């Protein structure tokens, strides 16, 4: 996803002279083409994210469209107050890209895991929170974000994410998409981890459990129309799936939506996410997903247990 | 000019104290230490037409020490960025005029919401970069408190401004030697402040922040520099009222009726 981001933002910036990239001293070589044609619009802000976020707000107030790029914990939790005050309160036209979200940098340890970013960014008013599931969705959301007023946070993976969507999907901000039809269980996923849900669903089909898989696309705005339409479809369970902590993520957002709209008696919901814990025994992303029950077999087992009980 | 500015500053000192008394607004000491600098900026330095306060080429001024807002609001009213009578709402429930500057759009002339220290200079840095990138024609100014220099983000901004050679960025430090609960030197060993900024790659000037002649010279010299410029203005917290000067109780205290009258007598216009 990060390569697609670099390529796409470069294309956009060729036509949109307001676009400036602010890097937190990462992205070595990724932005070479950008730097070649617009050296004055690429600023390496160093390892100083608080300053980078506030200066982006200042730039936005003076007419530019800054795009802030660094690894997710450092562009979210590290500079939360600068996002709240500089970006959100000022309604600044800026874009925050968190790269390597969730467990993308699993081996690098808890310093590089981002399992809280959705929870905290979601609590801030007036900022969009987008969670593309594949490079194509990122491309669409990136282009749309830069046409909208106000700040946007896009949570992306790292590299090698599979393509999820077909040409039939309408990808846009605040738009859920069904990528596998089913009738028993509804999985609502965000981010590249949706590929694990697809794999689990194929396995469950062999056991006569018919799973529908949808991507939510964004947590703010939440596609409430899509959720409401699915309330009457009598799924046995709704499953939320996210590479994020259990606290405050997509699952929480949907439970809050259900509670606020008096829908709690109309659905059963199970959240699949990372327990509220630090991960101390490290491995690559696949290893950690498996250990935490977030891989396809873990998802399959969770759903099987729900169906059997 | 000098006499006029002194008269203006004295008038605004009275208004700051009257407003504090009436609206129960603190930070008198912080406002009185920087009011001379604000008066010089808005009467002599900044290229901002109050009638076109959103002109894209206007100079940008950020009050990074946002708790000085009661002083800045008086300056903006006096310069007719908005009608003076709007300040009658100061401190009332539902008013936009309270202790800190709100985001732009609520009070003409306010460029950024400040009050959380350490945000204003980085925002000003972004504004200075935006000027260069878009080939506009303005200078950017940020006024900091010495306590604010505790914040790491100030030094992050200082390093980047230097790396980017932002010679159209000027910082003014209202160095009144106090922060909320103690001497700034004792809380965080701020000295040698001048050397710190210099070693971060800035042009440095140290002046008496209550002397309009020195203030004028420093701003003029800052324009000639090839680096970002920091004016360290030595000031007195509570300047202008004998019993408030250098007494940090006036960071939070609000005058009683007797203190109000004594203050106003000391600040009577002698001209």
Task: Work out the minimum CA distance from B3 to partner chain A, whole angstroms.
Answer: 36
Residue B124 lies in a domain: yes
Q: Report chain B's mean pLDDT, rounded to a whole number.
A: 96
Task: Work out the minimum CA distance from B151 to partner chain A, whole angstroms.
Answer: 11
Sorted by where each starts, the structural domains of chain A and their CATH numbers stand as: 2-155 (3.40.50.970), 177-308 (3.40.50.920)
Residue B36: φ, ψ to 5°: -65, -40
B60 neighbourhood in chain A, CB within 8 Å: 62
Residue A308 has pLDDT above 80, yes or no: yes
User: In this structure, are residues A222 and A118 in contact, taking their beta carbons and an 8 Å threshold?
Assistant: no
A35 neighbourhood in chain B, CB within 8 Å: none
Say what the pLDDT of residue B225 is. Answer: 83
In the structure, what pLDDT confidence band is assigned to residue A59 with cuts at 50, 70 and 90? very high
Nearest Cα residue in chain B from A82 = B119
Say what the pLDDT of residue A207 is. Answer: 95
The mean pLDDT value for A231-251 works out to 97
B159 neighbourhood in chain A, CB within 8 Å: 46, 48
More confident site: A262 or B3: A262
Cβ of B113 within 8 Å of Cβ of A90? The answer is: yes
Span A127-181, pLDDT tens digits? 999 999 999 999 999 999 999 999 999 999 999 999 999 988 989 999 999 999 9
Nearest Cα residue in chain A from B119 = A54
At residue B259, the 3 state secondary structure works out as helix
- What are B125's strand-pairing partners? none
At residue B79, the 3 state secondary structure works out as coil
Residue B222 has pLDDT above 80, yes or no: yes
Kindly write down the DSSP assignment for every residue of chain A, as one continuous string.
-HHHHHHHHHHHHHH-TTEEEEESS--TTTTHHHHHH-GGGEEE--S-HHHHHHHHHHHHHTT-EEEEEEEHHHHTGGGHHIIIIIIIITT---EEEEESTBTTTGGG-TTT-BSSHHHHHHTSTT-EEE--SSHHHHHHHHHHHTTSSS-EEEE---S-PPP---TT----TT--EEEE--SSEEEEE-STTHHHHHHHHHHHHTTT--EEEEE--EEES--HHHHHHHHTT--SEEEEEEEEESTTSHHHHHHHHHHHTT-GGG--EEEEEE-SS---S---HHHHHHHTT-SHHHHHHHHHHHHH-
Residue B77 lies in a domain: yes
Span B70-109, pLDDT tens digits? 999 999 999 999 999 999 999 999 999 999 999 999 999 9
Residue B262 has pLDDT above 90, yes or no: yes
H-state helical runs in B43-202: 69-78, 120-133, 152-163, 184-188, 193-199
Span A81-94, pLDDT tens digits? 999 999 999 999 99
Q: How many CB pairs under 8 A join A and B?
A: 101
- Give yes or no for A24 touching B (CB within 8 A): no
Among candidate residues B115, B112, B108, the one with its CA nearest the CA of residue B128: B112
> Could you write out the three-class secondary structure of A109-143?
CCCCCECCHHHHHHCCCCCEEECCCCHHHHHHHHH
- Give yes or no for A99 touching B (CB within 8 A): no
B163 neighbourhood in chain A, CB within 8 Å: 46
A63 neighbourhood in chain B, CB within 8 Å: 56, 130, 134
Residue B271 has pLDDT above 60, yes or no: no
Instruction: Identify the residue whose tokens are 């939070």.
Output: B252
Span B171-211, pLDDT tens digits? 999 999 999 999 999 999 999 999 999 999 999 999 999 99
In the structure, what pLDDT confidence band is assigned to residue B270 with cuts at 50, 70 and 90? low
Task: Work out the minimum CA distance from A54 to partner chain B, whole angstroms.
Answer: 5
The C-alpha atoms of residue A24 and residue A22 are separated, in whole angstroms, by 7
Task: Work out the minimum CA distance from A113 to partner chain B, whole angstroms.
Answer: 24
Cβ of B133 within 8 Å of Cβ of A41? The answer is: yes
The C-alpha atoms of residue A171 and residue B97 are separated, in whole angstroms, by 44
Residue B108 lies in a domain: yes
Least confident among A28-32, A48-52, A190-194 = A28-32
Say what the pLDDT of residue A28 is. Answer: 81
Span A267-281, pLDDT tens digits? 999 999 999 999 999
Residue B42 gets which letter from DSSP?
I
B104 neighbourhood in chain A, CB within 8 Å: 61, 90
Residue from the list A20, A56, A89 with its beta carbon closest to the beta carbon of B113 = A89
* Most B-contacting residue of A55, A64, A70, A90 (CB-CB within 10 A), to test interface: A55
Cβ of A61 within 8 Å of Cβ of B112? The answer is: yes
The C-alpha atoms of residue A83 and residue A153 are separated, in whole angstroms, by 10
At residue B207, the 3 state secondary structure works out as strand
We report the CATH number of the domain holding residue B52 as: 3.40.50.970
The C-alpha atoms of residue A257 and residue A254 are separated, in whole angstroms, by 5
User: What proportion of chain B, given as a percentage, has pLDDT over 70?
Assistant: 98
The C-alpha atoms of residue B174 and residue B232 are separated, in whole angstroms, by 7
Cβ of B103 within 8 Å of Cβ of A89? The answer is: yes
Residue B1 has pLDDT above 70, yes or no: no
Kindly provide the ipTM of the predicted complex, given to two decimals. 0.95
In the structure, what pLDDT confidence band is assigned to residue A27 with cuts at 50, 70 and 90? confident
Say what the pLDDT of residue B3 is. Answer: 61
Cis geometry, peptide bond prior to residue A123 (ω within 30 degrees of 0): no
Task: Work out the minimum CA distance from B153 to partner chain A, whole angstroms.
Answer: 5
Residue B164 lies in a domain: yes
Residue B269 has pLDDT above 80, yes or no: no
Say what the pLDDT of residue A87 is. Answer: 98
Number of domains in chain B: 1
Residue B271 lies in a domain: no
User: In this structure, are residues A30 and A1 in contact, taking their beta carbons and an 8 Å threshold?
Assistant: no
The mean pLDDT value for B232-253 works out to 96
Residue B2 has pLDDT above 60, yes or no: no
Residue B43 gets which letter from DSSP?
I
User: In this structure, are residues A304 and A271 in contact, taking their beta carbons and an 8 Å threshold?
Assistant: no
Cα B236 to the center of its chain, rounded Å: 13
The C-alpha atoms of residue B39 and residue B107 are separated, in whole angstroms, by 18
Find the domain containing B89 and state its range.
Answer: 2-266
The mean pLDDT value for A209-215 works out to 98
Q: Per residue in B166-199, is it b (16+ CB within 10 Å) or e — as a string?
A: bbbbbbbbbbbbbbeeeebeeeeebeebbebbee
Residue B78 lies in a domain: yes
Residue B114 lies in a domain: yes
Angle at A94 between CA A88 and CA A97, to 5 degrees: 100
Cβ of A56 within 8 Å of Cβ of B126? The answer is: yes
**CA torsion, ordered A300, A305, A308, A309, to nearest 10 deg:** -150
Residue B53 lies in a domain: yes
User: In this structure, are residues A252 and A237 in contact, taking their beta carbons and an 8 Å threshold?
Assistant: no
User: In this structure, are residues A227 and A254 in contact, taking their beta carbons and an 8 Å threshold?
Assistant: yes
A53 neighbourhood in chain B, CB within 8 Å: 122
The C-alpha atoms of residue B73 and residue B18 are separated, in whole angstroms, by 13
The C-alpha atoms of residue A219 and residue A233 are separated, in whole angstroms, by 22
């Amino acid at each position: 996803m990060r390569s697609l981001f670099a390529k796409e933002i470069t294309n956009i910036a060729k036509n949109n002279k307001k676009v400036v990239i602010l890097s937190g001293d990462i992205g070595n070589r990724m932005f070479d083409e950008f730097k070649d044609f617009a050296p004055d619009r690429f600023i390496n802000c160093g390892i100083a994210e608080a300053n980078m976020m506030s200066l982006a707000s200042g730039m936005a107030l003076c007419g530019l469209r800054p795009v802030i790029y660094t690894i997710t914990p450092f562009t979210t939790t590290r500079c939360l107050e600068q996002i709240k005050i500089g970006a959100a309160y000022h309604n600044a036209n800026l874009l925050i890209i968190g790269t390597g979200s969730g467990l993308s940098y699993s081996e690098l340890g808890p310093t590089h895991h981002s399992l809280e970013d959705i929870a905290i960014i979601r609590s801030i008013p007036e900022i969009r929170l987008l969670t593309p599931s594949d490079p194509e969705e990122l491309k669409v959301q990136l282009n749309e974000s830069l046409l909208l007023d106000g700040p946007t946070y896009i949570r992306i993976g790292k590299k090698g994410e599979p393509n999820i969507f077909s040409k039939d999907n309408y990808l846009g901000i605040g738009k859920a998409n069904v990528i596998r039809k089913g009738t028993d269980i509804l999985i609502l996923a965000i981010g590249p981890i949706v590929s694990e849900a697809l794999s689990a669903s194929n396995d469950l089909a062999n056991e006569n459990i018919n799973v529908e898989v949808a991507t939510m696309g964004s947590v703010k705005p939440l596609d409430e129309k899509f959720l409401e339409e699915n309330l009457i479809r009598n799924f046995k369970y709704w499953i939320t799936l996210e590479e994020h902590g259990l606290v405050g993520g997509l699952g929480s957002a949907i439970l809050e939506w259900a509670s606020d709209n008096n829908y709690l008696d109309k659905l059963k919901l199970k959240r699949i996410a990372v327990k509220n814990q630090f991960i101390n025994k490290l491995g690559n992303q696949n290893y950690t997903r498996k250990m935490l029950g977030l891989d396809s077999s873990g998802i399959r087992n969770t759903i099987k247990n729900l169906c059997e009980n | 000019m000098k006499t006029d500015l002194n008269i203006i500053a004295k008038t605004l000192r009275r208004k700051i104290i009257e407003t504090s008394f009436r609206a129960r607004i603190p930070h008198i000491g912080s406002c009185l230490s920087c009011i001379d600098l604000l008066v010089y900026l808005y009467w002599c330095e900044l290229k901002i037409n109050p009638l076109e306060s959103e002109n894209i080429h206007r100079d940008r001024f950020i009050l990074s020490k946002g708790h000085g807002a009661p002083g800045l609001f008086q300056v903006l009213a006096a310069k007719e960025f908005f009608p003076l009578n709007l300040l009658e709402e100061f401190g009332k429930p539902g008013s936009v005029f309270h202790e800190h500057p709100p985001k732009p759009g609520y009070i003409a002339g306010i460029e950024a919401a400040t009050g959380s220290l350490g945000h204003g200079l980085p925002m000003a840095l972004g504004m200075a970069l935006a000027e260069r990138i878009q080939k506009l024609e303005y200078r950017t100014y940020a006024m900091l408190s010495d306590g604010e220099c505790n914040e790491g983000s100030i030094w992050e901004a200082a390093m980047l401004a230097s790396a980017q050679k932002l010679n159209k960025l000027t910082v003014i430090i209202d160095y009144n030697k106090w922060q909320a609960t103690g001497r700034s030197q004792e809380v965080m060993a701020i000295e040698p402040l001048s050397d710190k900024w210099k070693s971060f790659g800035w042009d440095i000037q140290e002046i008496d922040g209550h002397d309009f002649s020195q203030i004028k010279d420093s701003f003029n010299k800052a324009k000639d520099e090839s680096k970002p410029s920091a004016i360290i203005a030595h000031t007195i917290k509570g300047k202008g009222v004998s019993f408030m000067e250098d007494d940090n109780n006036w960071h939070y205290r609000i005058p009683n009726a007797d203190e109000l009258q004594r203050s106003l007598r000391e600040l009577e216009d002698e001209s």
